[in-house]
Amino acid sequence: MNSEIIIAEDGAQLVEMLAARLVMTARQCIDERGSFSLALSGGSTPKALYQKLASPEWKDQIAWEKCDIVFGDDRAVAPDDVLSNYRMARETLLDFVPARVHRIETERDNLEQAASDYENVLRGLGGRLDVVLLGLGDDGHTASLFPNSPQLEVKDKWVTATPVASLEPHVWRVTLTFDCINASRHAWFLATGAGKAARVYDVLHGSKNVSKWPAQGVKLASGELVWFLDEAAARDIVRS
């Protein structure tokens, strides 16, 4: 695994850099295999990136009709619920680009079956995801892999359901597992703001403890791990 830390002056510059890297990687994947699979992260941080990709000056830089959009996780709510990561992605990006969108069926009563069915969708996209976008929660979680949760130990599954999350919103989630994330070609963390600085330090320079800092569990077997940070979020690792 090769890893890289990219530090931009601020969130706006970071989004510009990430969008450019995404365009380059999408073109490379499409040239090599005729398609590009992208797992979107939820939360608030990636919204600016999705809006940038949907903007007139960027939206035609990716052959979206050759792209499969999937989700790193979603909350167990209806797809039009304000808490839904799918709804956030639809409103900021997916309504504006002609990608093939595969949402997690989070409205189903049997979430483990929904997770299993979603795994079949992912495996049908070609064996490993091209890019997985990841956020970093204030507690060190990523996707919906939360500290001290049994989902951190799930093996031989790519998708699993997780009971009520320890952080807002306190609802059930469906999430990619480490097995799925770590099989991907590229895993990109996106973290901005001083509020993330301590957690970025813990994950990158703290003691190795995946139960405590689940984001440490992202270790790609044969892929590229990149941290996209603004100066505020990188403050503590730069000082160290």
Under the rule (CB under 6 A), what is the footprint of ligand 6PG?
Answer: 41-45, 72-73, 85, 135-137, 141-144
Chain CA centroid to CA 176, Å: 9
Residue of 237, 40, 42, 218 lying closest to 137 (CA atoms): 42
The smaller minimum CB distance to ligand 6PG, of residues 24 and 167, is found at: 167
11-33 and 47-54 helices, crossing angle to 10°: 60
Chain CA centroid to CA 227, Å: 12
The smaller minimum CB distance to ligand 6PG, of residues 24 and 164, is found at: 164
The pair phi, psi for residue 180, each rounded to 5°, is -75, -50
The smaller minimum CB distance to ligand 6PG, of residues 128 and 141, is found at: 141
Q: Which residue is nearest to ligand 6PG (CB)?
A: 135
Least distance to ligand 6PG, CB of residue 209, Å: 18
Least distance to ligand 6PG, CB of residue 73, Å: 5
**Spatial separation of the C-alpha atoms in residues 188 and 111, rounded to whole Å:** 26
Least distance to ligand 6PG, CB of residue 33, Å: 26
The smaller minimum CB distance to ligand 6PG, of residues 42 and 223, is found at: 42
- The single-letter DSSP state of residue 35 is -
The pair phi, psi for residue 34, each rounded to 5°, is 80, 5
Q: What does each C-alpha distance from 73 to 39, 70, 104, 105 come to in angstroms?
A: 9, 9, 8, 11
Residues pairing with 100 in the sheet: 68
Least distance to ligand 6PG, CB of residue 30, Å: 26
The smaller minimum CB distance to ligand 6PG, of residues 63 and 83, is found at: 83
What the block records as the tokens of 199 is 């957690």
Least distance to ligand 6PG, CB of residue 143, Å: 5
**Spatial separation of the C-alpha atoms in residues 199 and 167, rounded to whole Å:** 15
The smaller minimum CB distance to ligand 6PG, of residues 27 and 108, is found at: 108
Least distance to ligand 6PG, CB of residue 88, Å: 9
